[in-house]
Amino acid sequence: MDFFLLTIIKAAIIAFIFLTTLAYLQLLERKLIAHIQQRPGPYRVGPNGLLQPLADVIKLITKEDVLPPHVNAVYYVIAPFLAVFLALIPIALIPFGPEVEIFGVKTLMQLTDLSIGVVLILAISSIGVYGIVLGGWASNNKYSLLGSMRSAAQMVSYELALGIAVATPLLLANSLSLQEITQAQSGFYFGFLPRWHVFQMPWPQAISFVVFVIAAFAETNRLPFDMPEAENELIGGFHTEYSSMKFAGFFMAEYAAIVTICSLGTVLFLGGYNPLFPVEFGSNLVPLILFLGGAALLFFHGVQAQRWRDRITFPLFGVVFLIIAGVFSIPAFWPYLIPVFWFVLKAGVLIFLFIWVRGTLPRFRYDQLMGFAWKVLFPVALINLIITSGLVAVVS
């Protein structure tokens, strides 16, 4: 009974945090791209624009839900919900921390750990394209159909390189369980170099990691690989005919896919919840130092702020950072919070990379995109897999 109750609580916590992250990820993206392009970004709704996601949700819910007369109504309605459903499932398999004891019950800091977790995530992500293809076809619009066909071809092409890139760290870990893959990356070489798969012998997977990241951009339809919804060619691509919450479904599915693929990359290549350096060097104190530094910075900017509301909001957020730092200063909480901190930090860096690339790089031509997948990315991934498998076989 305790196990099922704890599972329900974990599911509720993961769902709440994940959906909140999706809401504020788009705000973070708009803010960061605005800074890259030297403009303010959203700041009118709430303090420093923090209520903008709530305003967007209210707008999408209350906006008229138009059903075009020429669409295939059944599949048109199913498509965005199918895309969201398939994008939300994989987060249940991601390990945010090791096994811990809560109220006398031992439980993993993930919803479930399957012996074929990596295969299941790849399988779900591969059929995620059905939502996009179905939406483009059911819209009965030439631009939407072209966008969905582009998405299908693009995902099939880059999934091949992605799958091969994923296979190489699996050879080093000798497991398909995400929890076991993370545990296989614990420890350090020479007492300071983490045994993450990007550094792990006999063949470090830096090349495989680069291939994985590039393919992940294409899998999530992000710039410079956003050909399925290229607005200068296809208006909006596969979601041209969608509005209101149906459009929001495709929007949410894209950001859910970004969080999932970055979390998977963190587990496979960056050690998951394992720290960057040993505890002896103070890895448990990193979050305390970061939040204290953030609080000091907020107080400083609050004093220097030109707008009256910034002189209020910055110190308030500084107090919040001080409270979080106080929580991280309690050693009893370290087994629960420190692994989650390191996981979120690594995944956050990858998400920042996605946003940074979107704000800086131009879109590829479609022939360049497909040629790069088959002529460059696939051969590199395959050669790396052959070298890794050979060296693993020799060493073992």
pLDDT tens per residue across span 333-378:
999 999 999 999 999 999 999 999 988 888 888 888 888 999 999 9
| Structural domain of 200 | 66-274+330-395
pLDDT of res. 386: 94
305 domain-assigned: no
pLDDT, position 232: 62
Alpha helices in 108-205 (DSSP H): 117-127, 129-138, 142-173, 178-183
115: which residues sit within 8 A by CB, 6+ positions away? Answer: 175, 176, 177
Residue 205: CB atoms within 10 A of its CB come to 23
What is the C-alpha end-to-end distance of the chain, expressed in Å? 43
Domain membership flag for residue 173 = yes
For the chain, residues with pLDDT lower than 50 are none
pLDDT of residue 231: 65
Q: How many CA atoms lie within 13 A of 17 on its CB side?
A: 13
Which stretch of DSSP H or E encloses residue 338?
Answer: helix 334-360
Number of domains observed in the structure of the chain: 1
In 309-340, which positions are buried (b, 16+ CB within 10 angstroms) versus exposed (e)? ebeebbbebbeebbebbeebeeeeebeebbbe
Residue 220: is it exposed, middle or buried by C-beta count within 10 angstroms (0-12/13-18/19+)?
buried
Dig out the tokens for 262 from the structure.
């970055």
pTM of the model: 0.92
Would residue 233 count as lying in a domain?
Answer: yes
Placement of tokens 């582009």 in the chain: 150
Q: Which residues, 6+ apart, have CB-to-CB distance to 68 below 8 Å?
A: 76, 139, 140, 241
Question: Is 138 among the domain residues?
Answer: yes
H or E segment and range at residue 101: strand 97-102
Q: What is the pLDDT of residue 323?
A: 96
**Which residues on adjacent β-strands are paired with residue 189?**
193
Q: Where are the alpha helices (DSSP H) in 37-94?
A: 52-62, 73-88
pLDDT, one tens digit per residue, over 276-318 is 999 888 889 999 999 999 999 999 988 888 888 888 888 999 9
Say how far apart CA 62 and CA 60 lie, in whole Å.
6
The residue among 182, 192, 196 whose CA lies nearest residue 339 is 182
Helix, coil or strand: residue 106: strand
Distance of CA 258 to the CA centre of its chain: 4
Residue 78 belongs to a domain:
yes
31 in any annotated domain: no
- What is the greatest pairwise CA distance in the chain? 67
133 domain-assigned = yes
CA neighbours closer than 13 Å in the CB half-sphere of residue 80: 19
Q: Is residue 23 part of a domain?
A: no
